[in-house]
């Protein structure tokens, strides 16, 4: 401190590994740490193909000792292909998302796959903040119980977390003042990117999301007719007049910004929706903005306008789904919906070609 000199004592290994510090360790309880060499580090090392493992790293001699050897949790997807894709919106905003492809897939040989987008929009006050890189391409791919990445096993391309930034620059502009315009522009940019890469084709791309991502999904079907083959909306809110005192980062009330609330509500634009939409909701959802009534009323409006739709209510579930029966049923519902309305769009042109190619792997 007296000299203000800096010394780097450790940094993460070079790619393809990612390391992170979990804790600082000493030799035992009550030991007085007098110098840096008295400390060891507990760190985690991972890569896209290797699950996180714990190591003890000595600062005295940089020796390390591996203390865990966890097996790969899903060996059949160990060779999945993962890439952080960067592209631009038509207004110049930098976008990104993580593109996952099934093991053994080759776009030139196998042709386009049915594709699933899974996203969640976020608000920003500047284009620079919206375009920042999030996450690391070297992190291990963890797959949750209802993760969209599971659909790699069904030979889908999965575009996970494509960014949908909603930007309001300056003091006079709020992000949601142009929510629909920015949302649809981001969606078209993402579709253009996966089609350009040859991993998906127009008319065979589904979109889905949970909570605010479900709200996004319904809005995309309303304002981008024909861009997506179908949608999956889980535990969402669709009528913003039922959340009149604000939602997400929107601090204005319904009475202060009635036009914004109405424009952003898929319920108020349901006559524009033509593409199939699957709604899933927990019966006991206690999240203040997503009571089950949101899905029930929206489903009634969809059916009243002749939209192919299905409402699934999960008993005893809240905003997220935890029971094994619920999780398995959600996956079955999603798979059935995607096979009917998305995968069928590519089977006629190159489905047999894909099946033969994957069978050889």
Q: Catalytic site residues? A: 211, 285, 319
Instruction: Give φ, ψ of 80 to 5 degrees.
Output: -60, 150
User: What are the structure tokens assigned to 267, written together?
Assistant: 């319920």
Containing 85, the helix (H) or strand (E) segment is: strand 81-88
Task: Look at the block and give the residue holding tokens 């020796």.
Answer: 63
| 197 CB-contact burial (10 Å; exposed 0-12 / middle 13-18 / buried 19+) | middle
59/57 Cα distance (integer angstroms): 6
Q: What is the DSSP string of 188-219?
A: HHHHHHHHHTTS--TT-EEEEEETHHHHHHHH
* Helix, strand and coil in the chain, % to nearest 5: 35, 20, 45
User: What are the structure tokens assigned to 64, written together?
Assistant: 């390390």
Question: Is 287:235 a contact under the CB 8 Å cutoff?
Answer: yes
């Amino acid at each position: 401190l007296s000299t203000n000199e800096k010394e780097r004592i450790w940094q993460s290994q070079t790619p393809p590994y990612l390391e992170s510090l979990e804790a600082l360790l000493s030799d035992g309880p009550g030991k007085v740490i007098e110098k840096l060499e008295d400390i060891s580090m507990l760190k985690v090392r991972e890569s896209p193909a290797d699950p996180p493992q714990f190591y003890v790293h000595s600062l005295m001699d940089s020796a390390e000792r591996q203390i865990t050897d966890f097996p790969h949790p899903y060996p059949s997807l160990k060779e999945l292909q993962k890439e952080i894709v960067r592209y631009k919106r038509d207004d110049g905003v930098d976008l990104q998302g993580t593109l996952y492809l099934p093991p053994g897939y080759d776009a030139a040989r196998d042709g386009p796959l049915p594709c699933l987008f899974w996203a969640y929009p976020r608000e920003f006050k500047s284009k620079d903040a919206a375009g920042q890189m999030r996450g690391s391409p070297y992190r291990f791919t963890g797959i949750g119980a209802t993760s969209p990445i599971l659909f790699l096993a069904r030979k889908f391309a999965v575009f996970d977390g494509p960014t949908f930034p909603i930007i309001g620059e300056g003091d006079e502009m709020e992000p949601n003042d142009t929510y629909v315009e920015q949302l649809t522009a981001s969606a078209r940019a993402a579709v253009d990117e996966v089609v350009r890469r040859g991993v998906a084709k127009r008319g065979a791309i589904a979109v889905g999301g949970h909570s605010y991502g479900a709200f996004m999904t319904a809005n995309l079907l309303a304002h981008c007719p024909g861009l997506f083959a179908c949608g999956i909306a889980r535990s969402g809110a669709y009528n913003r007049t039922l959340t009149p005192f604000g939602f997400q980062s929107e601090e204005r009330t319904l009475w202060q910004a009635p036009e914004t609330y109405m424009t952003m509500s898929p319920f108020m634009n349901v006559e524009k929706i033509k593409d199939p939409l699957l709604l899933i909701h927990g019966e006991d959802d206690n999240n203040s903005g997503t009571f089950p009534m949101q899905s029930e009323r929206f489903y009634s409006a969809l059916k009243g306008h002749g939209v192919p739709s299905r409402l699934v209510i999960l008993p005893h579930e809240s905003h997220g789904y935890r029971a094994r029966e619920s999780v398995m049923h959600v996956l079955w519902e999603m798979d059935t919906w995607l096979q009917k309305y998305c995968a069928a769009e590519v089977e006629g042109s190159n489905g047999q070609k894909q099946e033969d190619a994957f069978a050889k792997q």
